[in-house]
Amino acid sequence: MERSSEVTPIPDATAQVAEPWKFCKSSLIGKLRQHLTNSRKRPTMATPCSSGLDVLLNTLQNAGDTESMLNILNVLDELLSAGTDRRIHYLISIGGSEALLTALVSSARCYTPNYTILLPLLHLLAKVGHRDHQIGLKAQKADAVLVVLSLLKQNAKNAQRAAACLWVLRVFCSSVTTAAMLGRNRGLDIVFKLISPHTTKHLRTVKAAVDVFAAMLCSKVNCRTAVAKGYIGDLLKLYEDWHINDAKLENIPIRRALLHCLHSVANSSVGRKTLVAEGGMHLLFQTSQNCLTTKGLESLVEPAVQLMRKCYPKVPLPLTSDKSAYSFPLPGRPVDVWDADLGSQDGGLEDDSDEDTEKEEPDNRDYEDDLETDVNKLRPRPEPDRPLEQLGQYMRLCPELHHDFQDLDSSSEVDESSDEDSSLEGNFSKKIPRGKRSKASKGDSLTPSSPDSPISLELNHGSEEDNRLQTRDLQKHYLNCSRKGLDGHCSMVGRLLENYGTFIPNHDPHLYNATAASTKSIAGYSILAFPDFWGHLPPQGQEPMAKRPPHVQRNKVFEDIQRLLCPEKIINKVVFDMEDPSPQSSYETYPSYLRFFSKFESGNLQKVIQVRSHEYDLILNADVNSSAHYQWFYFEVSGMLAGVPYRFNVINCEKGNSQYNYGMQPVLYSVKEALEGRPQWVRTGSEICYYRNHFCPRRGQSSFYTLTFTVTFCHDDDVCYLAYHYPYTYTTLQTHLKMLEKSVDPHKVFFSHQNLCDTLAGNSCSLVTITACPTSGAWKHLHHLCNRPYVILTARVHPGESNASWVMKGTLEFLCSSDPVAESLREAYIFKIIPMLNPDGVINGNNRCSLNGEDLNRQWLKPDPNFSPTIYHTKGFLYYLNSIGRTPLVFCDYHGHSRKKNVFLYGCSMKETLWQSGSPINTASLKEDPGYRTIAKTLDRIAPAFSLNSCNYMVEKSRASTARVVVWREIGVLRSYTMESTYNGCNQGIYKGLQTGTQEMEEMGMKFSQSLLTLRKNSINYNCRLIHHAPALLDLDDRVLDHKSNNCYEDDEPSCTEEIEYSSCSDMFGANDLDMEVNGNTSSAEEDDEDIDICKNGMRHTDKKSQLLPNFLQQEALETLTIKSGQCNSFNISNGHFC
């Protein structure tokens, strides 16, 4: 039946209401009927929508009789208690908070306050105010803050009234300035008196007092006052008292509230120091350990752990300086000029201003705020950033356009490495003058003569047992590429390869050794890491992501806290220092610790401190000429015992989260395993987690993060290498390119390896050209070659992203292969590949920057030829191609992503950027080729690791100087991409739950190359082999790869199961929990029984219905409010729902 639009008459049931409540018929009902009846005659629909609540609020503020106010309060409470918070927020939006505050002040200022009205008014104000972010400021404006404080003072001995006042004060303290006002008016003293030691009475009031005290401590001034008056020590004693006497576990909510109060104290440096000085760390640690052994106290452990983490005194890293151990003199700059700006960041480790600032809304700056909305900056601008006459120098980088190919029997004439190998082998000692090497004897053993080489390698020809190589003796010091001791070294390496020879595709240890001699490093590396020299194969099988044990981070934090509480049990011995080799010289005397080493190419480990017998703190080196960018590590460890778990803590990581929290493991290479025929990097480590610690730089305020993992080695006295990800060195690249050049058929493949430019340190930045040789030297075939579009691929601009090099390796090997798709690609394109844009950073173990201390991928707008030569000349080469009418069809920069899974593309789209940013520009009028999505769609069909849903084509302001955006905008390349590859693994398809290995990364490089074929499928030569190998690329296969990326959206990782940060502590419970407490505060007679119920169950789970007035009056009130406007579009009073 449809509801009538006429005014609903008062039900007959109201006549049965008891005599004391008949006032509602003559007062409130009459006003509502008159107002709602008149509202039907109004022509607009908007006004009557809120008329019901308007009547209630207006009547509440102006009512002069107790009965009317009580009825209105009950109606409001009943109405707002049902449904969702939307009703309360609507009430707030039409001035509900102000109306309640006005009524409160008016009622409280009477000569004799009427608590029959004040109590339900306070209850309702607490419920509404908890959801009103501006309630504190509104209360100040209405002069309600001190009024409620006065009521609390007057009713301190009345538990029911005191609790109501406390809840209102608590919501007022959402404003820091309101909390400070309470503090100035002795609010701390008044409230603290209500926090009693362990008791069984008035528990609700005690808990409310603790909550208010915690809320007031959000003001730093109040916190200082609490410290000065000794309240911090008293809070600790109270917590201990409640902990000891709560044997029946009936007071858990109060104990949690006390912890929350201590968290508020710890938000200031003076509070943290006082907590530590008063023995808070010992107390919290002991009580937490007790809670762990008692079922039902789990909820107390986590806040206690977080509090201890927050109070743990910050200490600088045990280094003499924040600066990198390596510095490089830049052209025209003093050596230390890069550190000049750090003084502006100098300051104490704490920020503890005396002034309080108003709490603002959390920074919810959307991603859209970073999107570029200026159309002029989104439109292509092809004008070069340099004179056109300078572009002629790049003509030499296009030998394929000028080669006559008359003698196709000869190899490519651009071959600078044919004579290079012999020269490297004959005279490579001059390249690294600082390399140190002991002389080798003419016998079969090499003996060291300095502390740097404490162990000898012996190859004795005797019995089979004697002829075994002892891996504990295979120290990195003997893979030495200095000229000194060369004869003995070559003899040793030869016998090593003869006895333990292995075949690694596209790798030759002899060639690697010779190539390494020409690699220039700042430290003058003279030692090769065994995995790089020997080579390695992909893992034998796919490795699953590591499962995170429950509470692993908490257990590690407990161990960290014990360092502070029990310093006598900590060894704290430096066992490795890159700048001071003396610690390692004492190993023979004290062989009880592991040995570490990192002074080899791409190595990064600055210092190691032994904490316990099997635990070590590792400190990474900052990027050269920098004091930041800690992530990449690569080091050698030896002297271990098999079967013993060793804990490694990398204590100066910078990023706020890591894939190590989501199943990623570091990689390990065992020399003994390699010599037994298993030369592989494998994922390793257990009990892995990543969290903020208490270490901080000497300058600045932010603390670092700890990556901790445990490794159990399989062999005694092995020599192992640990790395953040599969290493790929500069020398590996150069060796690989030389072997590729020798492997291709010069009659079919045009392979040119050139030097784009020299880096700051004098290393060569390689540029590789790959395309198909013409069928003959005839003009027709040469013309076809010269008209092939260009594809530009770059990688490794960030040295720590070694996965980008493995993807590039897959691309290079595939393009040089005899695969039919590769042949078609060579015939369709000319590939220009710069596989390592930052050789110096890779060589010296940097994570982000080059030797200039800057991120090269932020230099593309105006690259400096002196400080960023590789970027300057890469961009110049792109300008050159653009100037001769050969703008590349595709540009892709290979990267690695440390915080996401899968592989995905970032591209550029003007229309998508403007649309996503909410720009008023009509994007329908803009013309844009949608072809920038073709490659991603193809990869979604053919590449198991690729995630289409993670791709993004927005142009961000913060990325305006990256390669992707600059090449798209300035060079005019529509398909300009960054391809991001995960360090971890995939969460979709056939690789779901698996960590990627080198084989999967190389496969991704191959798949990206294959996807390019779809751009030229209308102009390629089809043959049976091509159709058989690439049906998906040619749209001949409708099958979609089983990774369901079109049906899922998993962008960023979910929140970690354990808190990575500890800087903040949220409210102990939400608005609904407060509602339940308020609803339970109904009568003094019931309070003691309800207190027991609250403490046993954590919170009293009462019905959300109002309990301010008897139930029969509640029914009368609701029936009265069935009166409604027939035109109401927003609010329906009869059923309590918003329309």
The residues annotated as belonging to the active site are 980
DSSP string, 950-963: G-B---BGGGTTSH
**875-881-883-884 Cα dihedral, nearest 10 degrees:** 170
Tell me the C-alpha distance between 648 and 638, whole Å: 14
Tell me the C-alpha distance between 878 and 969, whole Å: 12
What are the helix (H) ranges across 832-987?
Answer: 839-843, 869-883, 910-916, 934-942, 963-966
Q: Is the dihedral of CA 958, 960, 961, 962 positive or negative?
A: positive
DSSP string, 7-67: PPPPPGGGGGS-GGGTHHHHTHHHHHHHHHHHHTT-S-SHHHHTHHHHHHHHHHHH--SHH
- Token pair of 1071, please? 């608005």
- Token pair of 722, please? 């640990």
User: Parallel, antiparallel, or unpaired for β 645-653 and 705-712?
Assistant: antiparallel
- Scanning the structure block, which residue is given the tokens 């009265």? 1120
- Burial label, 362 (beta-carbon count in 10 A; 0-12, 13-18, 19+): exposed
CB distance 754 to 861 below 8 Å: no
The residue type at 372: E
Residues 6+ apart with CB under 8 A from 462: none
Secondary structure (H, E, C), 62-75: HCCCHHHHHHHHHH
Q: Which residues pair with 315 in a beta bridge?
A: 695
Tell me the C-alpha distance between 498 and 493, whole Å: 8
- Burial label, 472 (beta-carbon count in 10 A; 0-12, 13-18, 19+): middle
**CB neighbour burial string for 80-104, b if at least 16 within 10 angstroms, e if fewer:** bbeeebebbebbbeebbbbbbbbbb
End-to-end CA distance of the chain: 18
Residues 6+ apart with CB under 8 A from 120: 70, 73, 74, 77, 1108, 1109
CA nearest 936: which of 952, 944, 954, 948?
948
- Token pair of 713, please? 């080695």
CA dist 385 → 792, 860, 872, 1027 (Å): 20, 11, 10, 44
Tell me the C-alpha distance between 852 and 521, whole Å: 14
H or E segment at 234?
Answer: helix 231-245
**CB neighbour burial string for 633-656, b if at least 16 within 10 angstroms, e if fewer:** bbbbbbbbeeeeebbbbbbbbbee
> Alpha-carbon Rg of the chain, whole angstroms?
37
Neighbours of 149 (CB within 10 A): 21
DSSP string, 124-163: HHHHHHTT-TTHHHHHHHTT-HHHHHHHHHHTTT-HHHHH
CB distance 273 to 317 below 8 Å: no
Tell me the C-alpha distance between 1123 and 148, whole Å: 35
Neighbours of 631 (CB within 10 A): 25
Measured in whole angstroms, the distance separating CA 144 from the mean position of its chain's CA atoms is: 43
